[in-house]
Amino acid sequence: MAPHATPLAASTKAKDYVIATMGSHSALQILKGARDEGMRNLVICKKGSERPYKAYDVADEYLFVDDWKQWDAKIESELIKRNAIIIPHGSFVSYLGHKRVQEMKPMYYGTKEILEWESDRTMEREWLLKAKLLLPRVFKKPEDIDGPVIVKFHGAGGGFGYFVATSPKQFYEVKNRKYPDDNDFVIQEYIVGSPVYVHYFYSPITGELEIMGMDKRYESNADSIGRIRAEDQLAANIFTSYTIVGNFPIVVRESLLPEMFEMGDRVVAESRKLKAGKGLFGPFCLEMIITRKLQMFVFEISARIVAGTNPFIEGSPYTALKYDVPMSTGRRIAREIKQAIEMGRLSEILG
Ligand code: AMP
């Protein structure tokens, strides 16, 4: 494609735009989704990590960086030249940081300001409480621990670096041994129940909230501890960790769906009252534990596509009900962008 001298953000032809994302996380479905909707796409890869995109032949064009630190004005001007719209995902936000994302010049799908609300645990909690969601208790200091808690260090990527404790003594044992110098953490009540990650999509173009699918994570070593006897676990002195390895699809009992839709509605409605640009739209995820009494405790929100949507490249049981084509979240994003372009409403979904 010939690079454009000037950006064509005002064009109402989808072929004048390119869907662009960083090669990691959920890029395969974002790129395939763009093609499925008849749009061109581009992937920005760290040198040496392009193999999956080439092997599955999902990308029309590649840009390369040696390192994500090298994300600079040059890369951005390449994107601007191509009239690219960046689709953020978990790795994008975590490699670049929300401040760097805020300063970015190319077109960006979503609300940049919302990333600060999801990455700051205090702000995130304020938002979710206002949306009247049930949240795990938070302990102000380790001395207050009076039952099972999960300790989360700030910026712990993919669950790595979390630990479980049941008393102040046990907290300090693990903390002092493994993380003596890291004092940026939160102590949350450990909720016993089934983790479910609900994938939503809210469209300001159609005004509709959709549930696209659900997953649970496959975590090391939390998902393998149950494979050995309790005595052996104790003898091996294993500490539970939650490093994410992959995702399983889930379908929940149907009677939980009405409340799940309402929870999503409230989170979107409250986001509009935060000082956060256009508020929350597009893909997002409520991460919850459902107890035996079917209470849904939300422990986190992700305000962008989550990797748990990856099992649904061919659509989920939920999207099969609504769409007559296989609808991944990646494809849903491309469809939203295409419709917004053709309706002359693109600026409404750019951050
Ligand atoms: P996260 O990285 O926040 O998605 O969480 C990683 C893992 O910790 C997931 O398996 C969650 O189910 C688990 N987890 C997080 N917070 C809690 C909590 N408050 N109670 C129980 N499990 C939790």
Atom 5 in ligand 1: residue holding the nearest Cα: 159
pLDDT for residue 7 is more than 70: no
Measured CA to CA, the distance from residue 110 to residue 89 in angstroms comes to 11
pLDDT for residue 3 is more than 50: no
Total count of residues recorded for the chain: 351
| pLDDT at residue number 4 | 43
Q: How far is the CA of 174 from the centre of ligand 1 (A)?
A: 18
Q: How far is the CA of 288 from the centre of ligand 1 (A)?
A: 8
In a domain, 286, yes or no: yes
Atom 15 in ligand 1: residue holding the nearest Cα: 299
Q: What's the CATH code of the domain at 151?
A: 3.30.1490.20
CB 39 within 8 A of CB 19: yes
Q: Which of 299, 302, 306 to mutate to test the pocket of ligand 1 (most atoms within 8 A of CB)?
A: 299
Atom 19 in ligand 1: residue holding the nearest Cα: 190
261 and 318 together in one domain: yes
Percentage of residues in the chain having pLDDT higher than 70? 96
Q: How far is the CA of 56 from the centre of ligand 1 (A)?
A: 32
**125 C-beta neighbours (distance < 10 Å), count:** 20
Q: How far is the CA of 166 from the centre of ligand 1 (A)?
A: 15
Please indicate whether residue 299, judged by its CB atom, sits closer than 6 Å to ligand 1: yes
- 145: domain range? 138-189
**52-72 pLDDT, tens digit each:** 999 999 999 999 999 988 888
Span 209-218, mean pLDDT?
98
Residue 139 pLDDT grade (very low, low, confident, very high; cuts 50, 70, 90): very high
Span 278-295, mean pLDDT?
98
Percentage of residues in the chain having pLDDT higher than 90? 79
**291-350 pLDDT, tens digit each:** 999 999 999 999 999 999 999 999 999 999 999 999 999 999 999 999 999 999 999 999
Residue 9 pLDDT grade (very low, low, confident, very high; cuts 50, 70, 90): low
Please indicate whether residue 265, judged by its CB atom, sits closer than 6 Å to ligand 1: no
Q: How far is the CA of 48 from the centre of ligand 1 (A)?
A: 32
In a domain, 160, yes or no: yes
Residue 158 pLDDT grade (very low, low, confident, very high; cuts 50, 70, 90): low
Residue with the two structure tokens 């979904």: 349
Residues near 143 by beta carbon (within 8 Å), at least 6 away in sequence: 168
Q: How far is the CA of 299 from the centre of ligand 1 (A)?
A: 7
204 and 276 together in one domain: yes
Q: Where are the alpha helices (DSSP H) in the chain?
A: 27-36, 51-55, 73-81, 90-96, 98-103, 114-119, 121-130, 168-178, 230-236, 257-271, 317-322, 329-342
In a domain, 349, yes or no: no
pLDDT for residue 91 is more than 80: yes
Measured CA to CA, the distance from residue 314 to residue 320 in angstroms comes to 9
Measured CA to CA, the distance from residue 195 to residue 169 in angstroms comes to 27
206 and 298 together in one domain: yes
Q: How far is CA 98 from the centre of its chain?
A: 13
**Rounded mean pLDDT of the chain?**
93
Count of domains forming the chain: 3
